[in-house]
Amino acid sequence: MREVFHQSLEDVQGRLVEISELVAIAIEKATQAFGSSDVSLAEEVIDADSIIDDKAVALDELAIEILARQQPVARDLRIVVSALRMSASLERMGDIAEHIAQLTRYRFPERAIPKGLKSTFTSMGQVDVQMAQKLTELLRTQDVSIAEELRNLDDQLDDLHVSVFEKVLGENWQGEAMATVDATLASRYHERFGDHAESVAKKVVYLATGDWSDATGVTVA
């Protein structure tokens, strides 16, 4: 029974990695579509989001089954409960990639990125993709040093997010109301994607070190 239990825990980790890989693909395609107004690529992201949702639900069901049948305690319990929370964050990251793709589709054939902000959103997209890829590596390897890299990338993303608001609220901003809304929404999506990635990373660090003091302070929705 103990061997079966540990196989189940390994299955949980493997499924988290699989979902994270799909999220990394989704955000890469979404940011490419957003930057180039590629509506076909945007549709791929939108259509594929249901796969991420289904896999997250399946992982949650597995975790609940482990809780019910194995009644884990101590670290094993923390692993299963944390997996449920990480699954929710990964699923939300997939949704955010879909939202970015939807902005591309809504504005097609016009560009979704307002004038004067292309380089900023290109940078935000690149950071999000890096975070998704590093998060997958962290989940696969449990190498906690990667969490620090993710924290630094999230700081970069926050700075870019602030710069977008400074731009659209500045006296020289010439964008119309719709462009302002698009810029605000897109920037918020990118920033929240990073927040969720860092939230997952902090849970991995907690499981690896048992220290929750460095795994608090991030609130995401």
For 32-42, the pLDDT digits (tens) are 999 999 999 99
Least confident of 34-38, 60-64, 207-211: 207-211
pTM of the model: 0.92
Give the per-residue pLDDT at 220: 47
Over residues 153-175, the pLDDT tens digits come to: 999 999 999 999 999 988 888 87
Give the per-residue pLDDT at 154: 97
Given a cut of 50, is residue 115 above it in pLDDT?
Answer: yes
Phi-psi region of 37 (alpha: psi -120 to 50; beta: other; left: phi over 0): left
**At what angle are helices 177-209 and 74-107 packed, to 10 degrees?**
160
The dihedral formed by the CA atoms of 82, 127, 35 and 16, expressed in degrees to the nearest 10: -20
Over residues 66-104, the pLDDT tens digits come to: 999 888 888 899 999 999 999 999 999 999 999 999 999
Q: What amino acid occupies position 80?
A: V
